[in-house]
Amino acid sequence: MNKFQRATSLIEEYYKNNIVINLSPAYGYRSRCEFGYKNNFYTMYSPSGEIIYLDVFAVARPSIQALMPKLLGHINKSNALKSKLFQINFRSNRKNKVLVSLVYHKLLDDEIKRSADKISNVLNISINLRSKNNLYSTHNDLLEDDIEHLKSILYQTDQSFYQPNHFHMPQMVTKAMSFVEDPSDLLELYCGSGTFSLPMRKLFNKIFATENNRQSIRCLKKSINEQNIKNIFHARLSAEEVSELFNGRIFTRMKGINITDFNFSHVLVDPPRAGLDEDVIKLINKFENIIYVSCNYETYSRDIKNLASYKIKNIEFFDQFPNTKHLEIVSLLSKK
Of 15, 19, 22, nearest to 321 (Cα)?
Answer: 22
Q: Distance (Å, rounded) from C-alpha 234 to C-alpha 228?
A: 14
DSSP state of 26: S
Q: For 251-273, give one letter per residue: b (16+ CB within 10 A) or e.
A: eeebeeeeeeebebbbbbbbbee
Q: Is 10 exposed, middle or buried (0-12, 13-18, 19+ CB in 10 A)?
A: middle
Spatial CB neighbours of 289, under 8 Å, sequence gap ≥ 6? 180, 265, 266, 267, 332, 333, 334, 335
DSSP symbols for 134-203: EEEESS-SSEEEEEGGGTEEEEE-TTS----BTTHHHHHHHHHHHT--S--EEEEES-TTTTTHHHHTTT
* Cβ proximity of 136 and 129 under 8 Å: yes
Known active-site residue 328: yes
* Active-site choice (188, 211, 316, 328): 328
* Active-site choice (181, 295, 298, 316): 295
Known active-site residue 50: no
Catalytic residues: 295, 328
